[in-house]
Chain A
Amino acid sequence: MSDELTLSREDVVRLCERVEGAQSRAQAIPKLTDEYPRMTVADGYAVQNELRRRFVAQGQRLVGWKAGLTSKAKMRQMGVDVPSIGFLTDRMACPESSAISVSGLIHPRVECEVAFVTRETLRGPGCTAQDVLAATDHVLPAAEIIDSRFAGFKFDLPSVIADNSSSARFVGGGRARYVEDLDLRTLGVVLEKNGEILGLGASAAVLGHPAEAVAMLVNILAGLGESLPAGSFVMSGGITEAIPVGPGDSVVARFQELGSVSMRFTE
């Protein structure tokens, strides 16, 4: 994030309103860089911060963060060497085994992740995976429903960051575990839609170790002048490909040692 702000305060507000409108109307928009080709990652986070400020002002509670673009393949595709991050609020949380309406979403996809719940504040820069593990209360399995507000899921890094890293809904559940009881690199994961296996992998697919992604997230927060408070829920990044879902689909993410998380989708 060496780059600097190029957007004026007015532009930030304008783009935030555009993203917020796309989210609330569930209507895709062109990526922001089409109009602002010089937009940087810092600009993207400025728009995301404005979105967060508005959501909190509307009464949503900030419950945590997510890391995105955490696989080597996705990073290479986007030409980046750090993940993107997005914030999570209580309004995005869906209960385990619930019906999730897709009517508020544009083109939802599901991916499965290891989620961390922290018990101590984490501060960067210089936060390491060891620091994350030491500050973790427990881990649990989670499914994230991502939904880019950009047409065709086509975006670049500044645009996706402005769009809160495609955050839409999430489901935490399964079995909570202490990190010292697990090898967080080798947890196997199977993602099934309507009984068919569509995603397979092990947790090391996330930057070699999911705690590595959380450490990077903390360091990105430090760049924004923020820390990760105790009690945060952090999703560390998709282990498998994200799979598209629609009304009538039933999804189960099964994790070695962590149980499973399920949900179904309705109109």
Chain B
Amino acid sequence: MDNDKIERYGDELFEAFVARRSVPPLLGREPEMSIADAYRIQQRYVARRLESGERVVGKKIGVTSKAVQELLGVYQPDFGILTSGMLCQEGDSIDLGALIQPKAEAELAFVLKHDLRGPGVTAMDVIHATDYVSPCFEIVDSRIDGWRIKIQDTVADNASCGVYVLGSAKGDPRRLDLSLAGMLLEKNGELFSTGVGAAVQGSPANAVAWLANTLGELGIPFEAGEVILSGSQSALVPVADGDELVCTVGGLGRCRVKFSGRSAV
């Protein structure tokens, strides 16, 4: 796709984000769009957010479970850029009014203490470079009508990033079994679903290594201090005004999040 189109779609997604409304699927309008094109649109969309005063604080990895990969017909993850405006604090309630069609996912976040430069990064390098891991919620949101996404649509839309919350629990990945750590997700005090680290690429550390290598090929920096959301370990949770979610990771601790207000859809 030519640069004009890339810019136009990136701008369209940014404007949809600002206006809190969704747009028709991009792939429906550009059937030839490749995943590489979609990442260029994402870069434009993120650049617009940075121009409006945000800064890059980390990355998210998406499409990490077998179920979601089969749904989208792709057999590798995708990534998006986390910007400063996406961070919410654990004690605050998340304002759904700022989102379009949000859903929550529970995952493990990594915070790096060393840069990771791919290609050639292994899961062992990831553990070595990690300062700590925390349970977290990612509230995904889509600027695409009705979540009618193909892989190109979600990649262009910054991997459907919405907002995220890090739990105050912090764990040393050297003291935690990342692939076997169980996860319990409760909604309003009731069990909603359970999961385990291995649901994410066999281990969340494998997903982070994939990200480091993919970013390395694209020349995108991956630096100490960044937060990486490693991929959902739970089913997508619909959320509404007054809901409270708690995820508890075995051997690590909890992340709690509350919601208020009404989303656009």
A contact set with B: CB distance below 8 Å: 72, 183, 185-190, 197, 200-205, 208, 239, 254-257
> How many residue pairs bridge A and B at CB < 8 Å?
73
Say which residue of B198, B199, B202, B248 sits within 8 Å of A186 (CB atoms). B248
A203 cross-chain contacts in B, Cβ below 8 A = 182, 194
Instruction: Please tell me if the beta carbons of B184 and A185 are within 8 angstroms of each other in the complex.
Output: yes
The answer to whether B196 touches A201 (Cβ under 8 A) is yes
Residues of B in contact with A, size category? 10 to 19
Distance between B67 CB and nearest chain A CB, rounded to angstroms? 10
A residues near B191, Cβ cutoff 8 Å: 72, 204-205, 208
When distances are taken between beta carbons in the complex, the residues of chain B under 8 Å from A188 are 177, 179-183, 195-198, 250
28 contacts between A and B (CB under 8 A): A183-B250, A186-B181, A186-B184, A186-B248, A186-B250, A186-B251, A188-B177, A188-B182, A188-B183, A188-B196, A188-B198, A189-B196, A197-B202, A200-B198, A200-B199, A202-B182, A202-B183, A202-B184, A202-B195, A202-B250, A203-B182, A204-B191, A204-B194, A205-B191, A205-B194, A256-B180, A256-B182, A257-B250
16 additional A-B residue pairs with CB within 8 Å, beyond A188-B177, A189-B182, A204-B191: A183-B250, A186-B184, A186-B248, A188-B179, A188-B182, A188-B250, A200-B198, A201-B194, A201-B195, A202-B183, A202-B184, A202-B194, A203-B194, A204-B194, A256-B182, A257-B251
Query: Which of chain B's residues have a CB closer than 8 A to the CB of A239?
Result: 194
A186 touches B180 (CB 8 A): no
Report chain B residues within 8 Å CB of A200: 195-196, 198-199
Residues of B with C-beta under 8 A to A185: 184, 248, 250
- How distant is A47 from chain B, measured CB to nearest CB, in Å? 33
Selected from B180, B194, B197, B199, the residue in CB contact (under 8 A) with A255 is B180
Residues of B within 8 A of A (CB): 177, 179-184, 191, 194-199, 202, 248-251
Complex Cα–Cα for A187 and B248 (A): 11
Q: How far is the CB of A196 from chain B (nearest CB, A)?
A: 10
Residue of B at shortest CB range from A183? B250
Minimum CB distance partner of A208 in chain B: B191
Please indicate the chain A residues that have their CB under 8 angstroms from the CB of B250 in the complex: 183, 185-188, 202, 256-257
| A207 to B: closest C-beta gap in Å | 9
CB B247 to nearest CB in A, in angstroms, measures 10
Q: Does B198 lie within 8 Å of A190, measured CB to CB?
A: yes
Q: State A239–B196 Cα separation when bound (angstroms).
A: 11
